[in-house]
Each structure stands twice: as C-alpha cells, then as structure tokens.
Chains A and B, each alone.
Chain A
Amino acid sequence: MRSARLGLALLVAATTAQAADPATLGLPALAAPAAAPALVELGRKLFFDRRLSANGTMSCGMCHVPEQGFASNELRTPLGVEGRSLRRNAPTLLNVAIYTSLFLDGRAASLEAQAWDPLLAGNEMANPSAEAVATRVASLPDYRAPFAAAFPGAAPDRATIGAAIAAYERSLVAGGSRFDRWWFGGEAGATTAEEREGFALFRFRAGCAQCHSIGERDAAFTDQRFHNIGTGRARVAAHAAPVRVELVPGLATNVSQAALASFGEAPATDDGRMEVTGDTADRWKYRTPSLRNVALTGPYMHDGSLATLEAVVEFYDRGGGDDPGKAEWLFPLGLTPAEKASLVAFLKTLTGPNVEALARDARR
C-alpha cells in the first residue's frame, strides 16, 4: 500500500512537470500520464541492454537508434539476432505514445504488449520466453537497485519489464517544433513563407492531411488508420526486376534476380494489416505514420523503399504506387518543382527541438 502511494506521488509530480514542457506543444494529450522517473529510468536501461537478447547482441536500441531519430537511418529494414532479416522499416519511437495501436499492422494494443514482441520474435531478439528474460534480468546485480526503485517489492516479470520499457518509450516526447510554435503557438516568425506554402499544399491541394491529421488544438499527423498506398504491391514487383547496386558513389551495376537468388534468401511476403484481420481487403494496408520529426527518420515507407523526403513527395505526386487496389483518393497531383520543394520544406519544420537532448539522455 505504501509503495502504491509512493508510486502515485511520483506519477503526479512527473505529470505536473510535463504540463509545462514546451516539448509537448502541438501534441495531442496522451492517454497515459507520464510515468515516475524511476520507472522511466529502468525502462531506459532495459531498452538499451543487449543482454536482453538471446545471444547478447541486440537491444531495442540497436534498431531504434537515438542518434538516428530513434529509427534506423542506415538500413531499409533492420535485422535481428544472427542477422536474421526483418520485413519492415524500423519506425521512430519519438512520440510513439500518440498511437492507438502499435506496429505498422496495428497488431498490438499497448506499448506494454508491443515491447514483448521483439523480445520474443525469433528473427529479432529471439528469447525463448518472457520468463527466460525475467530470470536473466533478475540474475543481473546491476538491476537490483533500479528495479527496487521502480517496483518496490516486485520482481522482474512480463508485467514489470513491459511496463518499464513502455514508460521509457512514452517519455520520448518531441513536439514543440517550429511548425507547432507557428501554428499552435502563434509565433509568426517561426516558419518561412515557403514552409507555410508547403503547409497549405499539405492541407488542401496535395491532400496529405487527409491521413496525416491536424486538429484544431493539436496535430498527431496520423489518422491512426490503415491504408494501401501502393507500396505493398510495388515491393512484390521489385522482387521480379533486376536490382541496381551502387557499389560506391558513382559506380553502379545491375544484378539479375537469378543472380540475386544464388546468394540471397527469398524475400518474405508482407500482407500488412491483412495479417492481423485476415480480411483480404486489408492486404498491403499499413497504419499511417505520424510525420512528426520525419526529417530525422528516413528511409521512408513500410519497407524503407524511399530514401528521402523528396522521393516521398515524388511518390505521392505520381499518385502513389502502381496498384489498382490502392486508396481511391490517391491520384497524380501535378505539383511544380517549387511546390514539391515547399512541401519538403514544410515537412522539415516538424522536428522537435529536444530530439538531440533525448538522444543524449538515452546514452547516459
């Protein structure tokens, strides 16, 4: 009982502190209040601990790299233990608390549940069971004090480990961007004319805000829904064409699929949301990602197939991917080069000023 009161007190203190935090300007109110610092700190330690993988080589932070926008800038799709292939791009964890479902296919309902998926997936951290992870954490002397501070009297288990990692992920709040200061904060000089023109395109003619939603008082830049924009079919088509390989800048060659098959594994299929619902209408649908901090989180799309924001804008200007089943509201936009540039300029205003601080804090 005493520990529950203590936890509540810590939670209230933390919540009060968050209310005045400029990093939250423009962000929707989060469903869960900020956690106690001791819980966040334990979660941070767990998040970056490579000992939490089956062979001690992977941590959550190896794919969600703080210095890379809590994503993986250097890979289209990351790998797990022993280099096992993953199908999807590692999404940023910045502002992950705003999502109502987790993973690009929405298969987890909470961050607590989500945290265990990579820990137990055979191609990610490959632990045999939650109990095995809990036993390992309990055996590590350096966890005794942090665990006691976060969960007095409780032992590491599925619930406590999941809660701690989720608490750290929820703490990665990065609003208060130049866009937020201008649009929600009324700071006229926070954006340029070109960026504001890009925002106008974003909201109206280009139709981006249809899915990357903006509210009256805040903006999640996601509608939390699942859409087929043509990237799923494009990924399948790409596996039938020769691959252009850039060996070093300025020197490229083409590799046939037959040659590729002699030294590469067959790509795994990815049906998107359909894998969760079983509904064929959901094939190749993926949850709309928030665009907050998007300038830091490339490469883009569910498979990391687009390297730059410029490529993303070109993709939508073409009307999305070549798929008859894609969303009906995707059509060629006919944007001028200047308009495309302004859209990109706008997207770059969505970076939170505290992201570098969050990365530094991650490495404490």
Chain B
Amino acid sequence: MSSPVLRSFRLSLVGLAAAAVIAAPARADETCNSPYMTGLIKGQEDFVHVWTLGVKGLGDESDKLVTIDANPGSKTYGKVVHSLSVGGRGEVHHMGFTDDRKQLWAGRLDDSKIFVFDVGRDPSKPKLVRTIDSMPAKTGYVGPHTFYAMPGRMLVQGLSNTKDHGGRTGMAVYSNKGDFVAKYDMPTTNGGDGYGYDIAINPAKNLMLTSSFTGWNNYMMDLGKLVADPEAMKRFGNTMVAWDLKAMKPRKVFAVPGAPLEIRWSLKPGDNWAITASALTSKLWLVKQDANKAWQAKEVGTIGDPSKIPLPVDISITADGKGLWVNTFMDGTTRYFDLSNPEAPKQTYSKVTGKQVNMVSQSWDGKRVYITSSLLANWDKKGADDEQFLRAFAWDGKELKPLFEVDFTKEKLGRAHHMKFTAKPKRQSALAALE
C-alpha cells in the first residue's frame, strides 16, 4: 500500500516517460539545467545568483544568496544588487530551479537544510519562501547536493547519511511545494558503492545517470588532513549508475574510479552521450551506447597532470556539444576541451583564472563564462591563496577576456560557490525550447 503522494509521483513518472518521446533538450539558458525546465532565458542573462558560504569573522558570517547584475546594459552591471542571508553556516553548496523556473532550491551539505527562494516574481530580489529541514529525518540521508527539476517535483541527491556520515546515501523526491514524496537508496549491489553526487536525465532514453563523491566525514574534513588519511581516502565513490528513469531502479553500474562528479548530456539534437570528470584521477569519461546498444562508460581523456592532483571540480558543456569547460581547483586553471570527437577530447585552451577555482558556468550562446572560487569550506586554500570571487569573462573562441569581478572577501560576503542565472520576467520565454 503506497501513500497517495507516492502514487501521484509514480503517475507523474509514467507521464514523464510518455513525454520523453517528444521531449527535446532545452534550446536556451544554462547548459546544465534539467530538460524539464521551462521559462528559459533566450539571450542575455540579467542576474547571476551565487550561493555563498558564510565565513566566521567576515560580514554577518552567515550563508547567503548573493545576486549580481550581469546585464551589460544595466547601470549596476557587475555589482551586487541583493544579498539575502539565511542564518548560520551549514556548508552551502548547490542550487537548482523547479521545473517552472519560479523557485530556486539551494542546499547545505552540513546541516542538510534546503532553502527555497522565489526568483520568479522579481529575480533581482530573491525571497526566501520556505526552509526544508526534514531530509535527514525523512530519509536518513545527509547533504542535499543536486537539485534536479522533474515535472512538479524536485529530485534531491544526498551525499551522506545520518548513521555514520559515510558515503552511503540516496535520492529524495519532494513536491515543488516542499512535501516529501519518496526516497531511493543508491545501489550497493551489482558493483554499486552506495555513493551519490550528480544527476543528469536523458528523457528520450528513459535514462538517468548518477555519479559518486564522498560522505560527510570527507567533504567536511580539512583537505590537508583528508589527503594524509589513507583510511579516509578509501572512501570516495568509484561508480556511475544508469537508472531506469520511469521505474527509478538501477539498470547498470559503471566502474568510474576516482569520484566522478558533474554529468553533462550533450544537448545537440540526436546526440545521446554524456560526459563527466573524475576528480581524483583527473580523467574525462564518456557514457554512451556501444554497437550493441548497451550503455558503457569509458575513459576518453586526461585533465592536466594527474600526479599533481589538479582536481577537476566542475565542467560546463557548450550548447552544441562541441566543447567543454573544465575547472581544476588546485592549479586555478580553466581549460577548454574540443569535444568534436567526444571519444577523444582535446584540450585547446587554458588560462589561470584564480588561485583556486571551482564552478564554471557558461551562457547558452557560449559567449560568457562565469567562474567562482570556493570548493568546500574546509577544502579551500589557506592564507593569500584563499581568494573568493565571481569572475565573468567573455569568450570569443580564442581567449577568455575579463568582463567584471566581484571580490567576495572585500565585499564581506563569504565563499562564492554555485551560480545560477535568471532574467527579468519579460526576457524569459517558455517557448524558447521550440526556437
């Protein structure tokens, strides 16, 4: 006997599978968003929202959502136009829009709180409308990481658990109103290691990919202590999982050693492959079907010198699937890989963009690239290397040229982590996907 809410979720999955036949990748906006998202940005983004970790002794010390004007035609271009503190410090990390793009869900990996911001009415002034703190109690999972829009639902990937703060975890489904619907453990059989990180769905193939990072014990640990602890270093995910989306059941576990993180499907029509980067081994991995239509994951490239642990931490795929930005945290480098042949990516450009760099997001047209600095509070560099910023660049296919920069330390904001774009309501169009 299942609850009405759970039955409703199953029904929506059936509808989701039916919709998969006609679903097409988004034709605007960021390239990492859920394919179920509407209200896409057609051209220039107006705002970049930065989910920012509070720092003890800096400003109000609180975690906050920082909104920066990103429209070059605006008088406040490149400036912080809004800052909304949520109280306390709980290891701010990632965000994700609901399918209607009206709300932005943002998580904290330490205390597992989820903050829901209204960005639909006036994205220049996001408003906190809900705080969800039920995930540990409802699911036993800790560390809400990825927020992935599904029809009327948010799929939330956990990183850890309430029993031992290790890496075994799972995914939680919430309604857009914040009601808990269902939970799904990450697989621990048939090669599964139970870890989780990112979610990426290919509706046409009824396929959901998940990747694997590590548990609270490791992501909250001082990075110097962590790398010197051989026991802790054994506790990273080494798998990706292909799920039957409609059934929400693992279909196949891939061996992808060294913590595969962000997953990006190619958005080029007709493409059915995804790419990821493994943080510890500094490799690019391709997930696609083989000649027998069986999904496989294979290593296709190397990022920097793996022996120096460059730590690739974020990737951003171009809208045409022909290129990939990769940020490597340790050497502060932003790299561009030519993905014309996804089986053999080639690095064609690199630039040191900071003393430490983490997230990289590009506009749909690929002309603007945004970079932030913070990885995790206890993994960020120490002393003068602990730069905290958002840097915006223009990309002409040859060179990253600085547009503007916000110094998050000077502005007494905190550690700049995940970014999301919004546009003033008139600039968004639900029909963008059909263009």
Chain A residues near B (Cβ < 8 Å) = 50, 55-57, 61-62, 65, 67-68, 73-79, 82-83, 85, 243, 245-249, 251, 253, 255, 260-265, 267, 299, 304, 307, 363
Bound CA span A260–B378, Å: 13
Asked if B308 CB lies within 8 Å of chain A CBs, one says yes
Bound CA span A74–B168, Å: 13
Q: B228 and A260: CB pair below 8 A?
A: yes
Residues on the B chain within 8 Å of A247, using CB: 233, 258, 280-281, 306, 309
| Interface residue from A78, A299, A307 paired with B217 (Cβ < 8 Å) | A78
Residues on the A chain within 8 Å of B221, using CB: 75, 79, 83, 85
A interface majority secondary structure? mixed
Binds A, one of B20-28, B97-105, B157-165, B291-299: B157-165
Q: B222 and A299: CB pair below 8 A?
A: no
Asked if B344 CB lies within 8 Å of chain A CBs, one says no
Bound CA span A364–B36, Å: 40
Residues on the A chain within 8 Å of B379, using CB: 263
Q: B164 and A83: CB pair below 8 A?
A: no
Q: B164 and A65: CB pair below 8 A?
A: yes
Q: B382 and A75: CB pair below 8 A?
A: no
Q: A76 and B378: CB pair below 8 A?
A: no
Bound CA span A83–B292, Å: 46
Taking the closest CB of chain B, its distance from the CB of A191, in whole angstroms, is 29
Q: B228 and A243: CB pair below 8 A?
A: yes
Residues on the A chain within 8 Å of B116, using CB: none
Residues on the B chain within 8 Å of A79, using CB: 217, 220-221
Bound CA span A78–B218, Å: 10
Bound CA span A77–B229, Å: 8
- Residue in chain A with minimal CB distance to B220: A83
- Residue in chain B with minimal CB distance to A59: B162
Residues on the A chain within 8 Å of B385, using CB: 262-263
Taking the closest CB of chain A, its distance from the CB of B32, in whole angstroms, is 26
Extra contacts besides A85-B221, A255-B309 (17): CB < 8 Å: A74-B217, A76-B230, A77-B225, A79-B220, A82-B91, A82-B378, A83-B110, A243-B228, A245-B227, A246-B230, A246-B233, A249-B234, A253-B306, A261-B382, A265-B222, A267-B225, A307-B231
Q: A74 and B164: CB pair below 8 A?
A: yes
Residues on the A chain within 8 Å of B235, using CB: 74
Q: B90 and A55: CB pair below 8 A?
A: yes
Taking the closest CB of chain A, its distance from the CB of B236, in whole angstroms, is 7
Residues on the B chain within 8 Å of A67, using CB: 163-164
Bound CA span A82–B377, Å: 9
Bound CA span A62–B136, Å: 14
Q: A82 and B110: CB pair below 8 A?
A: yes
Bound CA span A65–B238, Å: 23
Asked if B89 CB lies within 8 Å of chain A CBs, one says yes
| Interface residue from A73, A77, A255 paired with B227 (Cβ < 8 Å) | A255
Residues on the A chain within 8 Å of B377, using CB: 82-83
Bound CA span A263–B233, Å: 16
Asked if B307 CB lies within 8 Å of chain A CBs, one says yes
- Residue in chain B with minimal CB distance to A50: B162
Asked if B232 CB lies within 8 Å of chain A CBs, one says yes
Asked if B365 CB lies within 8 Å of chain A CBs, one says no
Bound CA span A263–B379, Å: 7
Taking the closest CB of chain B, its distance from the CB of A77, in whole angstroms, is 8
- Residue in chain A with minimal CB distance to B219: A83
| Interface residue from B111, B231, B330, B383 paired with A55 (Cβ < 8 Å) | B111
Asked if B394 CB lies within 8 Å of chain A CBs, one says no
- Residue in chain B with minimal CB distance to A68: B164
Residues on the B chain within 8 Å of A56, using CB: 111
